[in-house]
Amino acid sequence: MEEEGYIADFNGIEKPGDYFHRLRDEIQNYNEKFHAFNFIPEKLEEGFPFSVKDNICVKGVETTASSRILSGYLPPFDATVVRRVKEKGFSFIGKTNMDEFGFGSFGINTDISARNPFDEDRVAGGSSSGAAVATALIKYHIAIAESTGGSISNPASFCGVVGFTPTYGAVSRYGLIDYANSLDKIGLMARSVKDIEFVFDIMKGKDEHDSTSVDRKIENKKSRKITVIDEMIEGVDEDIKRSFDSLLGKLETQGYKISHISLKEIGISGPVYYIISMAEASTNLAKFSGFKYGLKVEDFSLDYNTFFTNARDAFGEEAKRRIILGTFVRAASVRARYYQKALSLRALLIRKMREILKDSYILSPTMPIKAPKIKDVEKLTPVQNYMLDILTIPPNLCGFPHISFPYDYIDGLPIGAQVITDHFNDKALFSFVEDWENNFTYKFKYNLGEI
Ligand code: GLN
């Protein structure tokens, strides 16, 4: 695999002797305004810069998933993806901000919210908010991020970068602080899909530490057909709808055949996703009890309830909400009605979507809205929040690979489209977006580290 894109450019350019020192200071300065990073190392090694979402372990570096309950946690090992990328000479530049444990869509469930580089009053998206902001700020850089229900696509689209979520199982999750094990995928964000393809080849493949990782050939079965699912366009803001229509027009002139179909099962994907993800999250968070994991209360004279209440009080509000709801849907008395039903509806949706993906891509806007103002998002109810994930949830719920790429700018804000393909056909997405990049130039307001 040859280096292309920004990685090739970077490695081909002579850099001043103090380049990495200056880059570090620049990132630190800008971080005071944009809050992309939870942690920046004192000194950067030489190599192409990469950042790591704060729910992925980096040896000896505080890893908190933006949760107070994990403050001070220093992993004694690197996550497999981090180890593999380091071994290829990439340079670690920091841990990126996120919604606590991945719970959120706007990057606001954290101590200090990351800011959108196109307009600082607006959100960066979530939950991988910092990864997207870092990518939009730093010219030569790739972000290792993670998605459960849209955490890569969503912030990538709000911040105008490319965000790739691989097929479930194509990349090892070893060293990831789990949100929902049957849904979590480690992926990438970059300024060009070429860099994503290069680093994905380094990260992917079987890992003996993760039994769900597989050694399947990643295909590049291209298609000239695009399917648009009517239900995925219904709730989209008018200005985004108009611009998406013109994207379809452009793709048609580039030789794609576009067809529109109805798939009413798409409507169930939101509730199904939140039932499954919360059920799994509530079991994953049970271990943070203050004994082996989580905030250490260390006062063993306290009675049982007070001890655990103190230890678990460090969870944020959204985490607490999900523990309660997730525990409820798993309860013996209602399990068949919610959790088990959700599992069978997920299987149904996978079947329905695979039929479409047999010989075509599925394309939609990534988000139904432009990046909203932080103050407006704070007024949303939890359910209004959850509903905004309606376009990113279907591929995530079904484990299909997908990429969000910037395709237009409305009122100075970037918007993204999301292309989905069948399991283990991830490389076809790279081909699709590469063709797009040959005809379209992404805009960036900042170019930290430019040489
Ligand atoms: N917004 C979705 C949620 O809160 C997805 C987040 C994610 O992919 N981690 O669950």
151 is catalytic: yes
CA-to-CA separations, 151 to 81, 207, 393, in angstroms, rounded = 18, 23, 10
Ligand 1: atom nearest CA of 183 is 8
Place of tokens 């730093």: 138
> CB within 8 A of 379, min separation 6: which ones?
none
CA distance 319 to 338: 20
Annotated catalytic residue: which of 67, 91, 105, 127?
Answer: 127
**Could you say which of 51, 67, 151, 223 is catalytic?**
151
Name the segment(s) of the chain with CATH classification 3.90.1300.10.
5-221+360-439
Ligand 1 mean position to 180 CA, how many Å? Answer: 10
| Closest listed residue to residue 448, CA positions, set 29, 138, 190 | 138
pTM as predicted: 0.97
Which structure tokens are listed for 45? 């090694």
* Closest approach atom of ligand 1 to CA 274: 10
Rounded to 10°, the helix 426-439/193-203 angle is: 160
Ligand 1 binding pocket includes 389 (Cβ within 6 Å): yes
Active site residue 127: yes
> What spacing in Å lies between the alpha carbon of 20 and ligand 1's midpoint?
34
Task: Give pLDDT tens digits along the chain (451 positions).
Answer: 567 799 999 999 999 999 999 999 999 999 999 999 999 999 999 999 999 999 999 999 999 999 999 999 999 999 999 999 999 999 999 999 999 999 999 999 999 999 999 999 999 999 999 999 999 999 999 999 999 999 999 999 999 999 999 999 999 999 999 999 999 999 999 999 999 999 999 999 999 999 999 999 999 999 999 999 999 999 999 999 999 999 999 999 999 999 999 999 999 999 999 999 999 999 999 999 888 888 877 888 999 899 888 889 999 999 999 999 999 999 999 999 999 999 999 999 999 999 999 999 999 999 999 999 999 999 999 999 999 999 999 999 999 999 999 999 999 999 999 999 999 999 999 999 999 999 999 999 999 999 9
| Ligand 1 centroid – CA 318 distance (Å) | 11
204 pairs with which residues across the strands? 171
Report whether residue 148 contacts ligand 1, using a CB cutoff of 6 Å. Answer: yes
Q: Which CATH class is domain 5-221+360-439?
A: alpha beta
Query: Is the CB–ligand 1 distance for residue 104 below 6 Å?
Result: yes
Q: What is the number of the ligand 1 atom nearest to the C-alpha of 104?
A: 4
* Burial of 34 per CB tally in 10 Å (0-12, 13-18, 19+): buried
> Which residues touch 322 (CB under 8 Å, ≥6 apart)?
103, 278, 281, 282, 285
Cα of 43 vs centre of ligand 1, distance in Å, is: 32
Ligand 1 touching residue 386 (CB < 6 A): no
Query: Beta partners for 122?
Result: 373
Q: Is the CB of 127 under 6 A from ligand 1?
A: yes
Q: From ligand 1's centre to the CA of 248, what distance in Å?
A: 28
Q: How far is the CA of 118 from the centre of ligand 1 (A)?
A: 22
Of 125, 181, 171, 122, nearest to 150 by C-alpha is: 125
For 145, list phi and psi in degrees, rounded to 5. Answer: -130, -170
- CA 304 to mean position of chain CA atoms: 37
Length of the chain measured in residues: 451
Alpha-carbon distance of 98 to 315, in angstroms, equals 14
Distance CA 390, CA 337 (A): 22
Nearest CA among 350, 329, 372 for reference residue 423:
350
pLDDT at 411 (0 to 100): 97
Q: For ligand 1, what atom is nearest to the CA of residue 180?
A: 9
Give catalytic status of residue 192 as yes or no: no
Would strands 37-39 and 91-96 be described as parallel, antiparallel, or unpaired?
antiparallel
Which of 101, 110, 148 for a ligand 1 pocket mutation test, highest count of atoms within 8 Å of Cβ? 148
Helix-helix angle 80-87:193-203, to 10 degrees: 110
